[in-house]
């Protein structure tokens, strides 16, 4: 995709946003930048010892409890 995604961050926020990143993800900086630009409510969750691809299919590191809590709180 060749378009500036962060241009539209203000269109998404101020809706609740949960950023989940791997501690060792090569793309971590992008999520941290997006988090800084987003309005509240927002949350940044870092998964220890995980890389970018680990969060696709390694079910033992995917923070399902964090996802459940976020959606239960924000999808009322």
What local confidence, expressed as pLDDT, does residue 58 receive? 94
In this structure, are residues 74 and 16 in contact, taking their beta carbons and an 8 Å threshold?
yes
Tens of each residue's pLDDT in the chain, 76 residues: 566 778 888 888 789 999 999 999 999 999 999 999 999 999 999 999 999 999 999 999 999 999 999 999 998 8
What's the pTM value of the predicted model, to 2 decimals?
0.86
What local confidence, expressed as pLDDT, does residue 13 receive? 77
What local confidence, expressed as pLDDT, does residue 2 receive? 63
What local confidence, expressed as pLDDT, does residue 4 receive? 75
> If we measure between CA atoms, which residue out of 53, 65, 58 comes closest to residue 28?
53
> If we measure between CA atoms, which residue out of 76, 24, 29 comes closest to residue 54?
24
């Amino acid at each position: 995709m060749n378009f500036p995604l962060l241009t539209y961050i203000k269109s998404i926020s101020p809706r609740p946003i949960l950023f989940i990143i791997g501690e060792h993800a090569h793309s971590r900086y992008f999520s941290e930048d997006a988090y800084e630009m987003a309005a509240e409510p927002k949350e940044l969750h870092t998964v220890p010892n995980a890389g970018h691809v680990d969060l696709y299919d390694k079910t033992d590191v995917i923070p399902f409890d964090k996802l459940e809590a976020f959606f239960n709180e924000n999808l009322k």
